[in-house]
Amino acid sequence: SLFSFTGKYWNSNDKGTYYCAACGNKLFRSTAKFSSSCGWPSFFEQENKKNIIFKNDNSLEMERIEALCGRCGGHLGHLFDDGPAPTGKRYCMNSIALDFVPDAK
């Protein structure tokens, strides 16, 4: 979703793994997800350093860092420097760009 607080994963606390919805690339574990007031699913750490790539995004009159899938190049969201310890990062992702697979019970 393009609007905060409307995507299916922003408020989810389920345990599992998040993947790129376009190509199935593994992106995040639920253990790296945290409750952020931004209204989008937020993570402090990616699962693998090669699975997400970054580029400067100066659209909408703002300076941001765009997060892209390291495999297919699809837009995932943005990276900010206001996340929790230990990384201080906030991967602010779009629910529509993610697929979620819950852990086996």
Active centre residues (catalytic): 92
Burial class (CB in 10 A: 0-12, 13-18, 19+), 12: middle
CA gap 37, 8 in Å, rounded: 15
Q: Distance from CA of residue 16 to its chain's centroid?
A: 14
Which of 50, 55, 33 lies closest to 42 in space, CA to CA?
A: 33
Q: What six digits make up the tokens of 58?
A: 């100066």
**Rounded Cα–Cα distance for residues 77 and 50 (Å):** 16
